[in-house]
Structure 1
Amino acid sequence: MERDYVPRRASSAAPVRRRPPQRGGRNSRNNRRKNGPPPIFLIALGLLLVVLIVVLVIVFTSGNKGKKEPSGNSASSSASQISGSTGSELSNPASQVSAASTPEPTPPKEKDVSGLEVEKLDSMLRVGDSGYEYYSFVEETANQYTTMVAKAGAELKGSATLYDMVIPTSMDILLPEDFLADVNTSDQKKAINYIYGSINAQNPDVKTVPIFDALKLHNNEYIYFRTDHHWTQLGAYYAYAEFCKSKGIEAVPLTQFEKKEYPGFLGSFYADDNALSANPDTVEAYLPKANATLDYTTGDDDTITDWPVIQDGTDYDKENLYLIFIAGDQPYEEITNKDLNDGSACVVVKESFGNAFVPFLVNHYQHIYVVDYRYYKGNIAALAKEKGATDVIMLNNISMTRNADLVDSISGKF
């Protein structure tokens, strides 16, 4: 807190001595004349002392005007404004935002599921015309995942920054919390906070990107498919915007992308419940403005060149429309933005959720190297160093963090 400063008065700092009054009437004037004027050096000394005091008061006052508190006290004040934080949240730099900086946006009204038919299947939950994937938190596997991410960040230290993004499924984003209380599924927000907190406790250099709340703020929009477990590209856009905040760059406004729509999509949930066919999805694609091409290597080690970053889905089978994004799930891909010549490069480590996300990065990097860790056979840290990538972006849907086989698969790539 800034202290009030009251400058001292000149009279109290250096009281002026007064000569004792002269006694007598007519004789007092004569006495002064006899004594004569005070020596001139005493007058000069007094004037000098008064001037010096005035100067000191002016300097001291101006020096304290608008003076700010040291940064250490400011940080303590900011930290004290964070209330109700768990240990894992406090260890996550991304969650340490002062409540006084900007008011938290209010999420839209939760979806009204009253009156909708609910069917609890083994593989998914169907509510009305939409499917939702269950999630169960497995602490041991989650710990293996956090250790892997922390280790990957250590391998990349000095050459690239590692960003980690855990993507929630539609269930916790779109369905009301009170409804989920009766569903056998784990709390995804708490799980993500646990994962991020553990990662940052082991390696604070890793940048964990919080996207759960950003998606929740748009839960009344078309950000997840109804007949498929993936997010739409609109959902991926809101995650991309959060990545840009973490990196400190400006996200390209959604209005600047050309939008294409491909109706009739029936995804992975449809195979488990044909009742979803009554209301198929529409795959919306936001095309990058950049002049960019994609080369990829297939699982059979064939190389395909000059492929579109987002393919025209007009002639695609309805079940495969999600594959229009970056040629689907390929072991290795290279995307080149021919409009840039700055040498900027990143590596994206992903599974299928990353497909809709990658096209947004084209506007920011000259080279994007995409690895699907499930099929890639090389070392990702070595790839990043070889290509001169300054950023490595790891995208995993939350269900991956409970799958020991998948965590083992990615662990062996660093």
Structure 2
Amino acid sequence: MNRYDKLSQYVMAILFLIFIGLILFLNLLLPKKVFSESENRKLEQLPVFSFHSFISGKFTSDFEKYMTDQFVAKEIWVDVKSSVDRVIGKKESNGVYLGKDGYLLQKFVERSESELKEKVQTINSFHSSTPELTKYIMLVPTAVSVLQSKLPDYVSGDRERVLLNDVRTSLNPGIHYVDVYPVLSSRQNEPIYYKTDHHWTSKGAFYAYQQLSKQMGFTHKRDEDFDIRILTHDFYGSLYSKSGFRNLSPDSIELYIPKNEWEYTVEYVEEQQRTDSMYELENMKKKDKYTVFFNGNHPLIKINTGHKEGQKLLVVKDSYANSFIPFLTSHFSEIYMVDLRYYEGDVASLAQQHQIHDMLILYNMNTFVEDPSINNLTDTKE
């Protein structure tokens, strides 16, 4: 090897070290993001170190998630990797499957059995301590377990369904479990989930609303009772951004507007804002168009529907509820929406204060498994 070859190797090694150092420098010094608009979720923050968390492995696991979420120019790297993966025929990128007919499907990531048991125990404990509340729980299966025909041939969504059944059989018998898997599965050839986003569509939420009506005993509205308005044909959702898969057709977003709609008010309690619409149409100009429903997620929302004779409903929810709740405004006088990821109040006190007798817990199964905030249900706040 002559000296020029050695020199070129030294130069390449130095450039590589400079590149690694620059990436490390930027990761350390750039401000950390709290929320990802493209993925519509809170990003992991630097975990607090403790000897116990380090020994148990929780600290290293959380730190790895933190570094993944906060890595500099993450979306650019994801796009590059996904483009390479697609060229070589790979059907998975960053936890998202490239399915058939242009569907992107979020991979179901199972957490430890003990974490799931803790969440069920929390719900059962809350039920025992609040016997005056009639409780319903709707855990919505995600597209990966419902749209079996859209999955890559080597993927199965069976595990999510197994855990759904485990939760159902572990709940206190006094809690009404609303099983929406059969109705969604029977409609899987319809657009009940977005192709590029992890949420269900308004049509999927509509079928689940009809199923809830059978459990709660009210008469649901039919298709012909709504004006169905298409807001856009150009929606690229969270899975499109997260996966990096490109050259896919966009989604449409529909609103189901009751033909005989009552006047209502929507109050964002902690923000001290009030409006007469459940829809923020200005958000159709944004990247995350799903936030047209209630302008995204908020700690506490109160809806006064004008139905003086109706019951009051408390909904503990994730973002799947945002396109679901509008169907309920024809059946309740007041609806309180609590998102435990942001709400710092006491849920039992809230129900008692407003004399609420019916409660719905509504999560998609992926969020229910991954997000620990449901455990805040039994936390006593001052």
TM-score using structure 2 length: 0.70
Contact between 2:94 and 2:242, CA under 8 Å: does it hold in 1?
Answer: no
Contact between 2:316 and 2:362, CA under 8 Å: does it hold in 1?
Answer: yes
1:327 partner amino acid: N
Residue matched to 2:163 = 191
Change (3 A) 1:350 1:332: same
Change (3 A) 1:279 1:140: same
Structure 2 CA distance, aligned partners of 1:351 and 1:410?
13
Residue matched to 1:71 = none
The answer to whether the aligner puts 1:325 opposite 2:293 as a matched pair is yes
**Deviation sequence 1:373-403 (CA, Å, 0-9, x none):** 1101111111111111121100011112322
Matches within 5 A, 1:369-384: 369-384=336-351
Residue matched to 1:291 = 263
**Deviation sequence 1:223-272 (CA, Å, 0-9, x none):** 10011000001111111111111112211112211211122111101212
Return the structure number with greater relative CO, CA threshold 8 A, min gap 6: 2
The answer to whether the aligner puts 1:273 opposite 2:243 as a matched pair is yes
Residue matched to 1:310 = 279
The answer to whether the aligner puts 1:123 opposite 2:95 as a matched pair is yes
Secondary structure, in 3 states, of the residue corresponding to 2:169? helix
Residue matched to 1:24 = none
Residue matched to 1:211 = 180
1:155 partner amino acid: S
Change (3 A) 1:413 1:215: farther
Change (3 A) 1:369 1:407: closer
The answer to whether the aligner puts 1:334 opposite 2:317 as a matched pair is no
Alpha-carbon RMSD across the aligned residues, in angstroms, is 2.2
Residue matched to 1:396 = 363
Residue matched to 1:17 = none
Larger CA deviation: 318-327 vs 227-236: 318-327
Structure 1 CA distance, aligned partners of 2:123 and 2:107?
24
1:148 partner amino acid: T
Secondary structure, in 3 states, of the residue corresponding to 2:368? helix
1:232 to 201, 215, 219: 201
Cα shift at 1:346: 0.6
Structure 2 CA distance, aligned partners of 1:390 and 1:327?
27
Pair member with larger Rg = 1
Secondary structure, in 3 states, of the residue corresponding to 2:136? strand
Residue matched to 1:345 = 312
Higher helix content, 1 or 2: 2
Secondary structure, in 3 states, of the residue corresponding to 1:244? helix
Contact between 1:174 and 1:216, CA under 8 Å: does it hold in 2?
Answer: yes
Change (3 A) 1:183 1:378: same
Structure 2 CA distance, aligned partners of 1:185 and 1:210?
17
Cα shift at 1:332: 0.7
Change (3 A) 1:217 1:161: same
Contact between 2:146 and 2:184, CA under 8 Å: does it hold in 1?
Answer: yes
The answer to whether the aligner puts 1:149 opposite 2:120 as a matched pair is no
Equivalenced residues, count: 288
Secondary structure, in 3 states, of the residue corresponding to 2:323? coil
Contact between 2:123 and 2:377, CA under 8 Å: does it hold in 1?
Answer: no
Residue matched to 2:108 = 135
Structure 2 CA distance, aligned partners of 1:187 and 1:241?
26
Consecutive aligned runs of 4 or more in structure 1 exceeding 4 Å deviation: none
Contact between 2:238 and 2:288, CA under 8 Å: does it hold in 1?
Answer: no
Change (3 A) 1:118 1:223: farther
Sequence identity percentage: 26
Change (3 A) 1:261 1:333: same
Secondary structure, in 3 states, of the residue corresponding to 1:366? strand
Contact between 1:310 and 1:359, CA under 8 Å: does it hold in 2?
Answer: no
Larger CA deviation: 393-402 vs 358-367: 393-402
1:152 partner amino acid: F
- Structure 1: state its 5+ residue gaps: 1-116
Change (3 A) 1:390 1:186: same
Contact between 1:260 and 1:284, CA under 8 Å: does it hold in 2?
Answer: yes
Structure 2 CA distance, aligned partners of 1:410 and 1:381?
8
Structure 2 CA distance, aligned partners of 1:192 and 1:345?
28
